[in-house]
Chain A
Amino acid sequence: MSGSITFSSVQSIRGSLMVIKTNGKLGYEELVEIELGNGEKRLGRSLQVSEDIAVVEVFEGTQGLSPRDVKVRFLGKPLELPVSNELLGRIFDGLGRPIDNMPEPVGSEELDINGKILNPYKREYPDEFIQTGVSVIDGMLSMVRGQKLPIFSGSGLPHDTLAAQIARQATIAKGEEFAVVFAAVGVPADTAMFFRRELEQSGALKRSVLFLNLAEDPAVERIVTPRVALTAAEYLAFEEGYHVLAILTDMTNYGEALREISMMREEVPSRRGYPGYLYTDLATIFERSGRISGRKGSLTQLPILSMPADDITHPIPDLTAYITEGQIVLGKELYHKGIYPPVNVLMSLSRLMKDGVGEGKTRADHKELSDQLYNSYSKAMDVRSLAEIVGEEGIPESSKKYLQFADAFEKKFMKQDPYENRDIDTTLNLAWEILSILPESEWTNISEKSKKVYMNVVQKRNI
């Protein structure tokens, strides 16, 4: 690495932060290289600079550092990633350094990992349907190219299986496969291995870039990993024209790393010890997605995060959902009933669905059907909890149909195999089939037209 070479000395070390003497030579958010007595080198970045000193976060941690025997060199630039399409097929660490025993890829340019602000005026509204082959997603939580749609999960739930299934099956138009950018943020090595294997088996590895910050890797580095990955993703999408699917897992680890640094800096905390700028900080990650007018590619984000104590009001899932364009929430209860994918549809939402489905995109009855399924399933949940209290005798005859409907919805419509790939017609016909359990007077969202055109499809099929 090049850059101005100024040496400095360390004043104090606390946690993963270091206060160094600078004589005003270090800029805000610029990199420093820290050389230990034994020749080992680490990277750091300034969080605050003044005329004489600076506070620096050390990505690899400060273990073994002693103020006396380290040398600090100013690199005179922020953290950058060299980018080119040589990134594809490669594996990097959480700071973007190759770990696949191959040479550093030749970058056509070096990009600041913070990215630049996309001009909202130059964005193109995302409205191209992605068929994932998963009924509950395609039918009720349709994804579009350029959307940011996280999976909210809990420990022991099959979020990885679902993300991998989406990555494997997601097709947009024929011959337009996704390039996958995968960022592991503090997850166990076997999770990273699982994704690698999945990508390899589906033949997608050569169209993938992996950035790995594993559980045993330094926590401070996690602040950087999603940004490094998204720098690669943005480049591939908007400069090289790929349709990119970025999987970031687990963003809860990211939030915790941010909290750790904030606490070491003694900042005023807001909720549960998380810094007041958590929303803004997460937004600078999740907003790095979308489509740009006049550019071929797109960047779709599928972040995964575990809800601490299954609590969706915890600041990390809460603020994430305030930024992303919906959320897919997985539920333990369904999973224990043996249903995969165990999607809690009522808590889930895809905000960009409305413009990605319907006539000319999926099918004219899609929107109405999806509204009706939500409406009826939510009523069915009320009936179900009532039946649990008063017993089935206590509910009116007409409501009993709702219990049947709820079962069919979960066991027929939602449930499918991780390797089962249903096309959108199959999904929608299945929806009509389960809806037919309910009398037509309950179909408040269905127009006469849809009834006429699509009901017979189902009836014919049933004969």
Chain B
Amino acid sequence: MKVKGRITEVKGTVVKASNVSGVQMNEMVKVGETGLIGEVVRVEGDSAYVQVYEFTTGLKPGEPVEGLGSPLSVTLAPGIVGNIYDGLQRPLSTIEGYTISRGYTAEAIDVNKSWHFVPVVKPGIKVQGGEKIGYVEETELIRHYIMIPPNVIGNLTYVAPEGDYKVTDQIAEVQGSEKQSISMLQRWSVRVPRPIKRRLVASEPLITGQRVIDAFFPLAKGGSAAVPGGFGTGKTVLLHQMASWANSRIVVYVGCGERGNEMVELLKTFPKLNDPISGKPIMQKSIMIANTSNMPVAAREASVYVGLTLAEYYRDMGYDSLMLADSTSRWAEALREISGRLEEIPAEEGYPSYLASRIASFYERAGYVETLSGDFGSVSIIGAVSPPGGDFTEPVTTHTLRYVKAFWLLDPNLAYSRHYPAVNWISSYSSYVESLSDWWSLNISDEFETLRRRALDILFKEESLRNIVRLLGPEVLPEDEKLLLEAANMLREGFLKQSAYHEVDRYTPPLVQYYLLKLIISFYEKAKEKLTGGATVEEIKASPLYLEVIRARFNVKSKENFEAIMKKVMEF
């Protein structure tokens, strides 16, 4: 039964409709003569408030409003990977002309395309939601498993033989309380997390190739992290780097209320960058969602859920998904704007009182899990946070920091001096360090944890020495402390700094991260010996080896490279 009513008020992108009794919260509706899409956000008697996903210019009281009977849902089927969507999963590549017209509709995937389906089960067995019945090769990197939709259970009475099918063709049939036809296409409501069997504790790192993160403030597969930072401190570049290099099977990048050109940059670079593990273009494991800052805010609010649901769907196949959202602040602002138009009572800085719980349930969808089919998969979430005025005490930042398990605080002073990534190593945090340290000692070197601690120790000591230097100048320090400052400088220049644009520097595999730390710490140890032997810090700095160790991040690619420099250090 479809509900039909009329517009009574238009206020920005929020529309009030009357005569719509029977309409449900979060139901999708069509608004006005042009059929703009919106979502019910409040029901009051036989009236409802609708947030419209498009600009409402020209909309008039009296125009029709029609309920569509279902909440905002995404299409889940082969053909998603490699696409760029808007916040409602409409593909941006199929639009004619260079602007987006209102009321534009399109299928998320090409429904006419045939896929080569290979069954993995035979009829006659009992199946339930999540079970894999076959697969298609979606891209060279993604084997797309076709799963029984979550709430279906019964006897499998039919499975299509291996062959080419369209996503809407029947490929299986399940006899439960009623007969259900299964195709390769499912739909899922974006605001409802997809079900899992159980949550597990993550113990494997999500390797990002970004040194300050992997080595000092790591993220586990299935973990959640936030990157708060003022404008221009490097959030987007860091997120792009992670999308490019992280060892996840799927990357969902949500550009939420940010620049159009940043999405173009991804579109331009992803086909050219190769996945460090498989060597295939990372476009083949990426999904992009672009709701740029000039697009209507309601769709911006929805876009992060669309992204999350896609990430969960691939997790359910037993993959590690990584979902990046730039910027969650814009999503929170969309909440605020809609809340304001609904005249809800504001809490801090105009944000609605449910801001904290929305942020919590957003990051709650991250996790390392056992899937319904008994596989292991994960969704890791990384969200950028853009505090107004760079003020980390504002509501979105403070609530986010309560719910994420790692955060990389970007420091404007580091950014001003072009120390990128501008991750502050004193105030950033990761709760995953301990659970991941076994991985490093088993897979990289059992010396790694010691080196890591040494390095952090040097950096912390530097911090307290710097306070003295700031007041009295470095000349008052004894030589060994001057040397410590130099060691800290080497760590900054030679390890913490990492250029996103240098061919070698932009991605450092874990083993090379270990090499670089080893070089710097060994150089420091040697230099200490020299100091006791009577050398001065100025003399040590003047040695060409000093610059060579610092610049190792641009040059060391292999064990041979490392050993060549290490030899010089040992002979120093």
Residues A117 and B294 in contact, CB atoms below 8 Å apart: yes
Nearest-neighbour CB distance to chain A for B14, whole angstroms, equals 10
- Contacting residues of chain A (97-125) with chain B, CB-CB under 8 angstroms: 112, 114-125
- Contacting residues of chain A (246-290) with chain B, CB-CB under 8 angstroms: 267-271, 276-277, 279-280, 283-284, 287-288, 290
**Given A119-B100, A346-B417, A444-B493 in contact, is the A395-B293 Cβ separation under 8 Å?**
no
- Contacting residues of chain B (254-313) with chain A, CB-CB under 8 angstroms: 255, 257, 259-261, 263-265, 267-268, 290, 292-295, 297
**Does A356 interact with chain B (Cβ within 8 Å)?**
no
Nearest to B60 among chain A residues (CB) is A27
Residue among A28, A322, A326 with the most chain B CB within 10 A? A28
Nearest to A440 among chain B residues (CB) is B547
Residues B538 and A398 in contact, CB atoms below 8 Å apart: yes
**Does B403 interact with chain A (Cβ within 8 Å)?**
no
Nearest to B237 among chain A residues (CB) is A351
Which residues of B lie under 8 Å from residue A159 when comparing CB positions?
Answer: none
Nearest to A390 among chain B residues (CB) is B473
**Does B559 interact with chain A (Cβ within 8 Å)?**
no
* Bound Cα distance A270, B350 (Å): 5
Q: Mark A43-67, 1 if CB is under 8 A from B, else 0.
A: 0000111110000000000000000
Which residue of A77, A120, A375 contacts B264 across the interface (Cβ within 8 Å)? Answer: A120
**Does B200 interact with chain A (Cβ within 8 Å)?**
no
Chain B's interface size range is 35 or more
Residues B293 and A283 in contact, CB atoms below 8 Å apart: yes
Residues B59 and A28 in contact, CB atoms below 8 Å apart: yes
Which residue of A125, A327, A389 contacts B261 across the interface (Cβ within 8 Å)? Answer: A125
Main DSSP-derived SS at the B contact region: mixed
Residues B337 and A277 in contact, CB atoms below 8 Å apart: yes
Nearest to A284 among chain B residues (CB) is B294
Residues A117 and B264 in contact, CB atoms below 8 Å apart: no
* Bound Cα distance A351, B420 (Å): 13
* Bound Cα distance A267, B350 (Å): 10
Which residues of A lie under 8 Å from residue B97 when comparing CB positions?
Answer: 119, 122
Which residues of B lie under 8 Å from residue A395 when comparing CB positions?
Answer: 473-475
Residues B99 and A116 in contact, CB atoms below 8 Å apart: yes
**Given A27-B57, A49-B9, A319-B388 in contact, is the A119-B99 Cβ separation under 8 Å?**
yes
Nearest to A79 among chain B residues (CB) is B57
**Does A349 interact with chain B (Cβ within 8 Å)?**
yes
Residues A346 and B416 in contact, CB atoms below 8 Å apart: yes
* Bound Cα distance A120, B259 (Å): 9
Residues B58 and A116 in contact, CB atoms below 8 Å apart: no
Which residue of B9, B293, B542 contacts A279 across the interface (Cβ within 8 Å)? Answer: B293
**Given A51-B9, A119-B95 in contact, is the A279-B263 Cβ separation under 8 Å?**
no
- Contacting residues of chain A (308-327) with chain B, CB-CB under 8 angstroms: 313-315, 318-319, 321-323, 325-327
Which residues of A lie under 8 Å from residue B62 when comparing CB positions?
Answer: 24, 51
- Contacting residues of chain B (537-552) with chain A, CB-CB under 8 angstroms: 538, 541-542, 546-547, 550-551
Residues A280 and B337 in contact, CB atoms below 8 Å apart: yes
Which residues of A lie under 8 Å from residue B340 when comparing CB positions?
Answer: 267-268, 276-277
* Bound Cα distance A295, B99 (Å): 13
Which residues of B lie under 8 Å from residue A374 when comparing CB positions?
Answer: 417-418
Give the A-B contact count at a CB cut-off of 8 A.
Answer: 220
Which residues of B lie under 8 Å from residue A325 when comparing CB positions?
Answer: 259, 261
Residues A28 and B10 in contact, CB atoms below 8 Å apart: yes
Which residues of A lie under 8 Å from residue B231 when comparing CB positions?
Answer: 318, 321-322
* Bound Cα distance A119, B98 (Å): 6
Which residue of A77, A117, A351 contacts B99 across the interface (Cβ within 8 Å)? Answer: A117
* Bound Cα distance A122, B293 (Å): 16
Which residue of B57, B93, B554 contacts A29 across the interface (Cβ within 8 Å)? Answer: B57
Which residues of B lie under 8 Å from residue A375 when comparing CB positions?
Answer: 417-418
Nearest to A28 among chain B residues (CB) is B10
**Does B197 interact with chain A (Cβ within 8 Å)?**
no
Binds A, one of B152-160, B315-323, B424-432, B464-472: B464-472
**Does A394 interact with chain B (Cβ within 8 Å)?**
yes
Residues A288 and B100 in contact, CB atoms below 8 Å apart: no
* Bound Cα distance A288, B551 (Å): 41
Residues A29 and B92 in contact, CB atoms below 8 Å apart: no
**Does A126 interact with chain B (Cβ within 8 Å)?**
yes
**Does A441 interact with chain B (Cβ within 8 Å)?**
yes
A to B CB contacts below 8 Å, 26 in the list: A27-B10, A27-B57, A28-B10, A50-B9, A50-B61, A116-B99, A119-B99, A120-B92, A120-B292, A121-B93, A125-B261, A268-B350, A271-B388, A276-B336, A279-B257, A313-B388, A313-B391, A315-B388, A318-B390, A321-B232, A325-B259, A347-B416, A375-B417, A390-B473, A441-B542, A447-B554
- Nearest 7 A/B pairs, CB to CB: A394-B473, A283-B293, A378-B417, A116-B99, A313-B389, A390-B473, A24-B61
Q: Report which A residues bind B (CB closer than 8 A).
A: 22, 24-30, 47-51, 77-78, 112, 114-126, 238, 267-271, 276-277, 279-280, 283-284, 287-288, 290, 292-293, 295, 313-315, 318-319, 321-323, 325-327, 346-347, 349, 351-352, 354, 367, 371, 374-375, 378-379, 386, 389-390, 394-399, 441, 444, 447
